[in-house]
């Protein structure tokens, strides 16, 4: 039996956003334990020209909700990027998952060949639903979740591969 577009999108998005939420909880607990101002971790970058932890989480959220909405033929929900605390990031992830919970397999069915047009920075990109999911949306989500994980790990938060992959 072939996997559906829904099965390889929405549940994967929800799983990795849940895993991201869990490592953020560990990050805030670590900061509390070590008496580190939360803003230090939230604004940390892996490299000066990379985005900080806050933006990594926002973009991971955007990747998931944007892809699910486009595949389902819905308007992409607009979230203002105003998060400034761990609690704000948890709320954004919860709001993203709540949106994903509204997407049904029937809405995504048949989206493999659907025309998807996106703007990424200054680039205009055109895909079919399947190539968009496989070659843009999933890798984009994984990149930003991984980068958020790496920022926390680099700063001493005790997380490992199981935290990234989930239980």
How far, in Å, CA of 126 to CA of 111, rounded?
14
How far, in Å, CA of 155 to CA of 144, rounded?
17
Q: Which residue, 73, 130, 126, 62, is CA-closest to 95? A: 62
Helix axes of 53-72 and 86-100: crossing angle, nearest 10 degrees: 10
Question: Could you report the per-residue pLDDT of 53-110, keeping only the tens digit for each?
Answer: 999 999 999 999 999 999 999 999 999 999 999 999 999 999 999 999 999 999 999 9
Domains along the sequence of the chain with CATH: 10-165 (1.20.120.450)
Q: What is the mean pLDDT of residues 3-28?
A: 97
pLDDT at 136: 97
pLDDT at 1: 65
Give the CA distances from residue 161 to residues 3, 23, 150, 154, in Å, rounded to whole numbers and listed in that order.
Answer: 26, 11, 11, 14
CA 75 to mean position of chain CA atoms: 18
Question: Could you report the per-residue pLDDT of 116-151, keeping only the tens digit for each?
Answer: 999 988 999 999 999 999 999 999 999 999 999 999
Residue count of the chain, please give it.
Answer: 167
Query: What pTM, to 2 d.p., does this model score?
Result: 0.96
Q: What is the mean pLDDT of residues 26-33?
A: 98
pLDDT at 167: 77
pLDDT at 40 over 80: yes
State the pLDDT confidence band at 163, using cuts at 50, 70 and 90.
very high
Neighbour-count burial for 144-156, b at 16+ CB within 10 Å, e otherwise:
bbebbbbbbbebe
Determine which helix (DSSP H) or strand (DSSP E) holds 126, and give its type and residue range. strand 123-128
């Amino acid at each position: 039996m072939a996997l559906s577009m829904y099965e390889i999108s929405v549940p994967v998005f929800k799983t990795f956003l849940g895993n991201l939420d869990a490592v953020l909880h560990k990050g805030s607990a670590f900061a509390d334990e070590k008496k580190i101002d939360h803003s230090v971790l939230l604004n940390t970058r892996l490299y000066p020209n990379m985005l900080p932890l806050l933006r990594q989480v926002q973009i991971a959220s955007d990747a998931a909700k944007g892809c699910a909405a486009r595949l389902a033929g819905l308007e992409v929900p607009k979230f203002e990027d105003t998060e400034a605390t761990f609690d704000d990031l948890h709320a954004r992830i919860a709001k993203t998952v709540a949106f994903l919970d509204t997407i049904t397999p029937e809405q995504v069915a048949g989206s493999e060949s659907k025309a998807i047009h996106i703007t990424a920075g200054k680039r205009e990109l055109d895909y079919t639903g399947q190539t968009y999911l496989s070659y843009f949306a999933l890798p984009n989500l994984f990149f930003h979740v991984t980068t958020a994980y790496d920022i926390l790990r680099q700063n001493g938060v005790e997380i490992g591969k199981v935290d990234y992959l989930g239980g």
